[in-house]
Amino acid sequence: MTNDSELSFTCPIPHAAGANITMAHGGGGSVMNRLIEQIFRSAFDNEFLNQRHDAARLPLDAKYLAFTTDSYVVQPLIFPGGDIGSLAVHGTVNDLAMAGARPRYLSAGFILEEGLETDLLERIVASMGRAATAAGVKIVTGDTKVIDRRGNDGLFINTAGVGIIEHDLVIAPQSVQPGDALLVNGDLGRHGIAIMAVREGLEFETTIESDSASVAGAVLALLDAGIEIHCLRDLTRGGLVSTANEIAEAAGRTIHFTESAIPVRDDVRGACELLGFDPLYVANEGRFAAFINPAHAERALAILRQHAQDTEPACIGYVTDEAIPRVTLESAIGATRILDMLSGEQLPRIC
């Protein structure tokens, strides 16, 4: 921290770390330490991180832990309704919530590309700190690497998360039963469309923002109320249909939706119509599907409504008694079709 010989790399103002990330910021020396101090520690400040150890020493009082990891490479780094930092917190927190765990601690690994604007990094890290606080988790350990300039996105984040499991339910596809009600906690398709709205060549004016948010509060509320949850899965890439197919495959059951019950906002639908997208396949970042005992559906919906921010949870389908792994849909006109996985991402089409 006091080795001033490396000051020659940096211009002291306006940012002590310099306007851009350089290789020195990954060098392990005082330049890197200054970066970590000013940008990371100040945003993530907590008693575990402040121990400044190679590993965080954490008290845990649970028989079972949930543990997950995810890496985030989204482009653009900042999008309507969020950024790669808040996404990295919400995504990992939500994965823990899908196990029915109370999220507690996250790690955060950063790969920075030489040339990344320091102001941008600071903005994203600050956003991450806020997201963590709002989600009730602490970022207790981390890592920073700098790679040489290669004209890429500039920033990649990995977060791993630990949560404690305070219930006895086996929340997994194997617990899914015929007759289970399928609930979602809000309208679909916002994240994918928000990203699309800012991608070059596909721009349109819109106030659609990503739905990136923590769903842990909603899930824990369901558990606290004694809702018999059989399975949870968040709806990310590939949308509702991909998730449903994964569960159907793992559970060996048919999942049936009613199209008219699936909530999609008008403007999201408008954007989908324009691009030729199906909202059921569009990515979400703050939505999950819950397979529950149908007798608890009404109560569960009421709880989800309490935790819903300007959206409407809904019961959109059920698990049939057929032991065929597939997803079916009753379309708007009353015909039934099969909803298959797409082999790749949806692209704007004219046909």
Partner 1 sequence: MCLAVPGEILSIDESNPVIRNARVNFGGVVKEVSLAMTPEATVGQYVLIHAGLALGVIDEEEANQIIEDFNTIAELNQAEGAQP
Partner 2 sequence: MKFVDEFRDRGKAQQLAEAIRHAVTRPHTLMEICGGQTHAIVKFGVDELLPPEITLVHGPGCPVCVTPVELVDKAIALAQRNDVIFCSFGDMARVPGSRLDLLGVKAAGGDVRIVYSPLDAVKLARKFPEKEVIFFAIGFETTAPANALAVYQAHELQIENFSILASHVLVPPAMEAILSAEQCRVTGFLAAGHVCTVMGCTQYEPIARKYGVPIVVTGFEPVDILRGILGCVQQLEQGRAEVTNAYARAVTHDGNHAAQRLIDTVFEVTGRKWRGLGEIPNSGLGLRPEFHAFDAERRFGLSTITAEESTECISGAILQGLRKPAECPAFGTRCTPETPLGAPMVSNEGACAAYYRYRRHVTP
Write out the residues near partner 1 by the rule CB under 8 A.
204-208, 265-267, 269-271, 273-274, 276, 349-351
Q: By C-beta, is 191 or 296 nearer to partner 1? A: 191
Q: By C-beta, is 67 or 204 nearer to partner 1? A: 204
> Does 347 interact with partner 2 (rule: CB under 8 A)?
yes
> Does 335 interact with partner 2 (rule: CB under 8 A)?
yes
> How many positions of this chain bind partner 2 (CB under 8 A)?
32
| Residue 293 Cβ vs partner 2, minimum distance, rounded to whole Å | 27
The tokens for 257 are 């939706």
CA pair distance 100, 177, nearest whole angstrom: 18
Of positions 185, 276, 282, 315, contacts partner 2 by CB under 8 A: 276
157 sits in the region (left: phi over 0; alpha: psi -120 to 50; else beta) called: beta
Name residue, tokens 């150890």: 53
| β-pair type (101-113, 155-165) | antiparallel
CA pair distance 39, 239, nearest whole angstrom: 34
> Does 151 interact with partner 2 (rule: CB under 8 A)?
no
Name residue, tokens 């941008």: 120
| Residue 287 Cβ vs partner 1, minimum distance, rounded to whole Å | 19
| Residue 265 Cβ vs partner 1, minimum distance, rounded to whole Å | 8
Name residue, tokens 């543990």: 67
281 phi/psi in degrees, rounded to 5: -110, 0
Q: What is the DSSP letter of 81?
A: T
Q: Which of residues 190-219 bind partner 2 (CB under 8 A)?
A: 200-202
- Interacting residues with partner 2 (CB under 8 A): 200-202, 260, 266, 269-270, 273-276, 278, 324, 326, 331-338, 340, 342-344, 346-351
